Amino acid sequence: MATKELRKTTLAEMKDKYIGKEGTTERDAYEYELKMEVLGKMIKTARKERNLTQEQLGKLVGVQKSQISKLESSANSATVDTILKVFKALKAEINFHVKMEDNFIKLA
């Protein structure tokens, strides 16, 4: 009986197989949703560390509690301006980095 060598599959390989290769529409959409989900969780964590309710944070930002709830569950419907206002109200720093060829552009 021949023994098969067990090979570990990487996360990148799994994504390629089940979602699509990097650069495909499906993969780009997946990566975007994942980043927005992480951003939402970061907002929620920062809010809780500041001992604020969604309603209190909404008042600081100038939006309704429901908008904060939507941000925390998935930030993909928020504008960059709103996200920056939320982090400013939380007294938290957020940085965006854009890489153009070999140069980084930083928006803080």
How many Cβ atoms from other residues are within 10 Å of residue 106's Cβ? Answer: 8
pLDDT in the model for residue 12: 85
Work out the pLDDT band at 2, boundaries 50, 70, 90: low
Q: Is a pLDDT exceeding 60 seen at residue 17?
A: yes
In angstroms, rounded to a whole number, what is the distance separating the alpha carbons of residues 3 and 26? Answer: 37
From residue 83, how far is each of 12, 31, 99 by CA, in Å? 29, 19, 20
The mean pLDDT of 97-104, rounded to a whole number, is 66
Q: Is the pTM of this model over 0.85?
A: no
What does CATH list as the number for 11-107? Answer: 1.10.260.40
Q: What is the per-residue pLDDT across 35-94, written as a single tens digit (0 to 9) for each? A: 888 889 999 999 999 999 999 999 999 999 999 999 998 876 788 888 889 999 999 987
> How many residues would you count in the chain?
108
Q: Is a pLDDT exceeding 60 seen at residue 1?
A: no
How many Cβ atoms from other residues are within 10 Å of residue 40's Cβ? Answer: 20
CA–CA–CA angle 37, 39, 41 (5° rounding): 70
pLDDT in the model for residue 97: 64
